[in-house]
C-alpha cells in the first residue's frame, strides 16, 4: 500500500533563506509526483509535476527533484518570501484515478 509522508510537519524560516521540503513514498513504482501549495481557506494550487523519467523540474524559484529508487522527492524554494507561506503537499497517483496525498508541510516565512 502506497504511503506518503512529509517532513517536517511545520517549518518557520526568516525571509531570504533557501529551504528544502521533503516528501517520501513507500512504493517506488510511481508514474510521477505532483507538488501543490494550499493557502488557508483555499484549494490546492499545482506547482510542479515531475514525471518518473525526469530527475528535476523547475518553475521560477521552485525546483523539485525526484529519486524513485530512494522513494524521495524534494521541493527547493530559493530566496524565500513571506508570500511563500502556505502548506505544501505532495501527491502520487495510484492505479485508476486515485491519488495519495501527503499530510503537508506548513511553511511560515517571517519578514
Task: Count CB atoms within 10 A of the CB of residue 49.
Answer: 15
To the nearest whole angstrom, how small is the minimum distance from the Cβ of residue 15 to other proteins? 27
Residue 45 touches other proteins, criterion: CB under 8 A: yes
Stretch that binds other proteins, among 13-21, 42-50, 62-70, 73-81 (CB under 8 A): 42-50
Convert the chain into a string of H (helix), E (strand) and C (coil).
CCCEEEECCEEEEECCCCEEEEEEECCCCCCEEEEEEECCCCCEEEEEEEECCCCEEEECCEEEEEECCCCEEEEEECCCCHHHCEEEEEEEECCCCCEEECCCEEEEEEC
Residue closer to other proteins (CB basis): 69 or 97 = 97
Stretch that binds other proteins, among 15-23, 29-37, 59-67, 77-85 (CB under 8 A): 29-37
Residue closer to other proteins (CB basis): 31 or 61 = 31
Q: Which of 25, 34, 66, 85 binds other proteins (CB under 8 A)?
A: 34
Residue closer to other proteins (CB basis): 44 or 75 = 44
Amino acid at each position: 500500500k502506497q504511503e506518503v509522508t512529509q517532513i517536517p510537519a511545520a517549518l518557520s524560516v526568516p525571509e531570504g533563506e533557501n529551504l528544502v521540503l521533503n516528501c517520501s513514498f513507500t512504493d517506488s513504482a510511481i508514474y510521477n509526483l505532483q507538488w501543490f501549495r494550499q493557502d488557508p481557506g483555499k484549494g490546492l494550487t499545482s506547482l510542479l509535476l515531475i514525471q518518473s523519467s525526469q530527475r528535476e523540474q523547475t518553475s521560477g524559484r521552485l525546483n523539485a527533484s525526484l529519486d524513485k529508487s530512494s522513494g524521495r522527492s524534494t521541493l527547493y524554494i530559493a530566496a524565500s518570501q513571506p508570500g511563500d507561506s502556505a502548506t505544501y503537499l505532495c501527491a502520487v497517483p495510484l492505479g485508476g484515478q486515485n491519488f495519495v496525498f501527503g499530510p503537508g508541510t506548513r511553511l511560515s516565512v517571517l519578514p
